[in-house]
Structure 1
Amino acid sequence: MTTETHSGAGKWPRLRVAEWAETRDTLHMWTQIVGKVRLAHAPLLNHWWQVTLYVSPRGLTTSAVPHGAGAFDIEFDFIDHELSLRTSDGGARRIALESMPVADFHARVLQALEDTGVPTTIQGHPNEVERAVPFAEDFSHHTYDPHAAHLFWRQLLQANRVLGEFRSYFGGKVSPVHFFWGAMDLACTRFSGRGAPRHPGGAPNCGDWVMEEGYSRELSSCGFWPGGGDEGAFYSYAYPEPDGFAESPVTPSEAFYSRENGQFLLPYEAVRTAREPDRTLLGFLHTTYEAAATRGKWDRASLEADPARWNGHRSGRRPRP
């Protein structure tokens, strides 16, 4: 690992999509395999929240997954570049993250689960991709560049932090900031409290019923994924999309509504190069949400919250009446 990687850990890193596309596509399949392990063991939560991964201080983790009377977790460590599997009864296995076919990674993960007393059968092919080659037969995705993977995790670390701050301004139903391995994106979703029309589906190699569950309530969703721009993109959309949403004024000036994608996009590089990256991204998140909530006639007064409302008590100083 280079000195630059560690010394720049507090900054928004530069990572051009074209420079790590092969590693990205391999890692996408690897995260699908680990995500499907969680799917096989965790009970259903609304909108499939039980299947996601989370940004951790070292990479991406399943968090604790129930198994029998105990639990296990799986973590992608993008610092030491290994996949770590741990069980609550003390079992542990590690798999080196290095260039290998998806088929080999698939076999090693299932064997590690077997060896630690967590035998698992998963759905054997990926979702939300055009060519759903079965994992056990996928030898075309095999590249792993550790430096690129580390930089991607640092992108997620920054995005996760700011999305988490944005999440704190909402008191209604709101998802965690979590990583959906289907589309390989980090997302946070707010809900109006009302039902939504049945979603038409249409995601490649993914049952329409999956999308029906995911979009069963009116929502405003935002996040980051490694596509849509030279260095990835932040996005924001509403379902159902209210009239006038696409024409709503949003910030910063680099943000735009993509008719092709049906959402607002903000190139990652516009945030990375901004004088105040956090403020720039928060402006995009707040203004696109406000467009969805105002146009959609959400009850904003009852749904939104001030994250500083208890600061006087937390600091030990009582606020003046």
Structure 2
Amino acid sequence: MTKPIAGGEWPSLRVDDWEATRRTLHMWTQIVGKVRLAYAPLLNHWWQAPLYVSPRGLTTSAIPVGTRLFDMEFDFIDHALSVRLSDGGSDHLDLRGRSVAQFHDQTMAMLDRLGIDARITKRPNEVDPAIPFAEDQHQGYDPSAASTFWQQLVQADRVIGQFRSRFAGKVSPVHFFWGSFDLACSRFSGRLAPRHPGGTPNCGDWVMVEAYSHELSSCGFWPGGGDEGAFYSYAYPEPDGYADFAGRPDGAFYDTELRQYLLPYETARAARDPDQCVLDFLEFAYAGAADLAGWDRKALDIDPNRWQPS
């Protein structure tokens, strides 16, 4: 029996205190995410690319390779990258004491031993500078910081999942995008959006065109925007008056540079009811996007408890 993690609920982790680990994990998740991207068939808005919060860390979920399936999981309890195949094959790589370059080379070698010919682009996306993985000697993995960040993601995934259940229209999974290194979930009005201008560092404009092809209200959690990270929400395209929408919850604010609403994680963590604090923020930001843009909320919003006994 594995001993439960102590103090796992809404943990505190200052962004400045795990910068080296955060940079390392960002590059590692890009490597693993690119493996998934190389094999999984294209889904709208790149939904085949992200990772998912799991009971042990972050996972790719099942990926097709020929007539087999495999998955890759960052295990932040045992601190290993695990690979499992539907034919029974498996292997793992200890995460401790490895540079980005070592992780890249050893992960590719592990996949090759398992008969998975993973060919990925060798540079990261959405960062500048984009140092090729095989040349990146950065090393900084603090197991405690990685586990704590994962526990932050567990809380965010839970609550955003509750928020997601209140929408009957097209809505993404709650998933972790390795390019921007954040957890995200997007609701869609059903209408096309103006062509996105692109401009993201080391990322083709066509990537953002696909990601933002339809009108949306997006939310999530990322390790920035607050001392301990922040919940965020934005609209694309942003309707007039969005930044000044009435009813903003205490502690939330609109960031004019990022063009999105932010709720510092530490504000939610310190609230009497952290779950409700985050849900109130997400509902407010969605209402601003949907009401100002004229979404058909009567058709799109839904009660997740509609089938529970009265």
Q: Is the 8 A contact 1:251 1:283 kept in 2?
A: no
- Superposed, which structure 2 residues align to 1:170-319 within 5 Å? 170-312=167-309
Spell out structure 1 runs of 4+ moving beyond 3 A.
none
Q: How does the TM-score come out when normalised to structure 1?
A: 0.95
Residue identity opposite 1:53 in structure 2: L
- Partners of 1:294 and 1:252 in 2: CA distance: 17
Q: Deviations over 1:143-180 (max 9, x none)?
A: 00000000000000000000000000000000000000
Q: Deviations over 1:36-95 (max 9, x none)?
A: 000000000000000000000000000000011110000000001000001110111110
Q: Tell me the secondary structure at the aligned position of residue 191 of structure 1.
A: strand
Paired residue type of 2:223: P
- The residue aligned with 2:5 is 6
Tell whether the 8 Å contact from 2:249 to 2:284 is kept in structure 1 after alignment. no
C-alpha distance in 1 between matches for 2:249 and 2:110? 47
2:101 equivalent to 1:103: yes
1:113-124 matched pairs, under 5 angstroms = 113-124=111-122
Does the 8 Å CA contact 2:232/2:262 hold for their aligned counterparts? yes
Aligned position for 1:138: 136
CA contact (8 A) 1:26 1:102 kept: yes
Equivalent runs, 1:29-178 vs 2, <5 Å: 29-139=27-137, 141-178=138-175
Gap regions ≥5 residues in structure 2: none
What RMSD over aligned residues (CA atoms) do the two structures have, in Å? Answer: 1.0
State the alpha-carbon separation in 2 of the partners of residues 30 and 7 from structure 1. Answer: 26
3-state SS of 2:276 partner: helix
Report the Cα offset of residue 250 of structure 1.
4.1
Q: Give 1:99's aligned amino acid.
A: G
Q: Which runs of 5+ in 1 are unaligned?
A: 313-318
Q: Secondary structure at the match of 2:47?
A: helix
1:99 & 1:250 partners in 2: Cα distance? Answer: 48
Equivalenced residue count is 308
How far apart are the structure 1 equivalents of 2:246 and 2:152?
26
